Structure 1
Amino acid sequence: MNVLYKELTAHHDISIYDTDTFSDEKGIFRILEFSNQAMQGAMDLERPDRILFEYPRAMIHLMQVNSPSFERVFLIGHGIGTIASHLKEKRFTVAELDEHVVALSRRYFGYNQDNVHIGDGRQLLTNEPPDTYDYILVDAFTEKGTPLPLTSLTFFQIVQEKLDAEGAILLNLTGKGAHDPLLTAIHTTLSEVFNYVKAYALPSEGRRDLQNMILMGQNKPITCQMRHMAGFVEIEPGYGHILMDEA
């Protein structure tokens, strides 16, 4: 491992390094990582256009198959800009809390679009006009997971206001399967706002292992082709409590 950059910012403990192994594959890979070995982005330096993580591939498929002609996307959480880079022909508005992450994505990962706004993603979305977006994506993490203000009932109501009539929200989450208390709560809360909600998980080896999960909500039936879901399978979360903003 060759460490290229390391810094503790006001928001994250950031590391960038090159490695010759990624998911048991040999090659030349560059990684953006936050504290506790939480990978936020990865690039194959020999094939920079390749998407290494499964969840962006699955999210892109869900976007393309449910609204093939979509144009406008609001994305909370920049990372190295994987999804926006892959969909260059679409109009992205990206919200990122940490300006250092944006600068590093340009310096070390070649992000070259002028569409990132620095600030709190929920507040930036609140300031957008209604009925503007085809998709709103939430891909934002702290050490404790996805922040509550991005999973509460009030947030999902804001999201619905900013989406067009057939628009959808997709969230990248982590949890311990269909019965994870936080996942069931987010799923239940999302179902209060959208008529159709589906959950997908990337299978893990052990029942207690953290899994990568995607939630999608929209007001028309959700479809997908499982062979294009990068290994994600549909799951049925139980009923949970409704998440409210903290007083």
Structure 2
Amino acid sequence: MSQQPGVLIHKDYFNDHLVEIRDSGDYRTLYYPPGTVQSRISLSNPHRLVLRYTQYMLLALLIQPKPENILIIGIGSGSFVRFFQHHFPRCHIDAVDYSKHIINMARGYFQLPENSKIIVHCDDGYRFLKNYSDTPYDIILIDAFDDQGMAPTIYSDQFFRLCADNLSQNGVVSCNIWSNDK
């Protein structure tokens, strides 16, 4: 039984771990694995980034203040997709997540926007950059985790070389590199 705050609105299992979506006041939170906040949105202002680390990742906008092409690896609840779609509506966004399960939860419970400027890809971030991307990105945001920490396919020199190869001339990578032990 979970001890997370708020009203349970969805419960499921993913990779043998409990996944919960809970509402508490103005916030909807994705917990995965139990006890770990993966993502959170404000229900009254879903375009606002709630978690502090997501706000820090936007320091990339100091280098690229008018992005035209953005790659987001790790969709979670779609916080970055909503933010950029709202503040940069002409921007093309490729959003990549290896889990159809997570993508469907983002669509069903977190208002993940999709339109002609936003393309959601169900794929591994490394494989997407290596095999499918031919766009020079102004910003690449990496926030990809599994139940063990940072997704192993992107925790490598080869992955970051691929990122560099897929950046525009003044492009920037912003990465959440939190880890328990690395």
**Structure 1 and Structure 2 fold alike (TM over 0.5):** yes
2:137–2:171 contact (8 Å) kept in structure 1: yes
Provide the rounded CA distance (Å) in 1 between the counterparts of 2:14 and 2:179: 26
Runs (4+) off by over 3 Å = 10-13, 128-131
The corresponding residue for 1:84 is: 81
The answer for unaligned runs of 5 or more in structure 1 is 20-26, 183-247
The corresponding residue for 2:144 is: 140
Please report how far the alpha carbon of residue 4 of structure 1 lies from its aligned counterpart in structure 2 after TM superposition.
Answer: 0.9
TM-score by length of 1: 0.63
- Number of residues paired by the alignment? 170
The corresponding residue for 2:68 is: 71
Considering only aligned residues, what root-mean-square deviation do their CA atoms show, in Å? Answer: 2.0
Q: How does 1:42-53 map to 2 (within 5 A)?
A: 42-53=40-51
2:105 aligned partner, one-letter code: L
Please report how far the alpha carbon of residue 129 of structure 1 lies from its aligned counterpart in structure 2 after TM superposition.
Answer: 4.3
**Residue 94 in 1 paired to residue 98 in 2?**
no
2:70–2:138 contact (8 Å) kept in structure 1: yes
SS at match of 1:95: strand
SS at match of 2:102: helix
Please report how far the alpha carbon of residue 118 of structure 1 lies from its aligned counterpart in structure 2 after TM superposition.
Answer: 0.6
Taking structure 1 as reference, are residues 34 and 110 closer, same or farther at Cα in structure 2, changes over 3 Å only? same
Provide the rounded CA distance (Å) in 2 between the counterparts of 1:129 and 1:45: 33
Provide the rounded CA distance (Å) in 2 between the counterparts of 1:16 and 1:78: 15
Please report how far the alpha carbon of residue 36 of structure 1 lies from its aligned counterpart in structure 2 after TM superposition.
Answer: 3.1
Deviations 1:130-152 (A, max 9, x none): 56111211101122211232121
Q: 1:171 pairs with 167, 175, 180, which one?
A: 175
Percent identical pairs in the alignment equals: 26
SS at match of 1:32: strand
Q: 1:126 pairs with 104, 114, 130, which one?
A: 130
2:137–2:166 contact (8 Å) kept in structure 1: yes
The corresponding residue for 1:110 is: 111
Taking structure 1 as reference, are residues 153 and 14 closer, same or farther at Cα in structure 2, changes over 3 Å only? same
Taking structure 1 as reference, are residues 49 and 164 closer, same or farther at Cα in structure 2, changes over 3 Å only? closer
The corresponding residue for 2:3 is: none
Please report how far the alpha carbon of residue 63 of structure 1 lies from its aligned counterpart in structure 2 after TM superposition.
Answer: 2.2
Deviations 1:181-201 (A, max 9, x none): 73xxxxxxxxxxxxxxxxxxx
Taking structure 1 as reference, are residues 147 and 101 closer, same or farther at Cα in structure 2, changes over 3 Å only? closer
1:130–1:161 contact (8 Å) kept in structure 2: no
Deviations 1:123-170 (A, max 9, x none): 011123456111211101122211232121111111111112221211
Deviations 1:171-223 (A, max 9, x none): 112247xxxx73xxxxxxxxxxxxxxxxxxxxxxxxxxxxxxxxxxxxxxxxx
Q: 1:55 pairs with 50, 53, 60, which one?
A: 53
SS at match of 1:174: coil
- Which has more radius of gyration? 1
2:60–2:173 contact (8 Å) kept in structure 1: no
1:136–1:170 contact (8 Å) kept in structure 2: yes
Taking structure 1 as reference, are residues 101 and 11 closer, same or farther at Cα in structure 2, changes over 3 Å only? farther
The answer for unaligned runs of 5 or more in structure 2 is 1-5
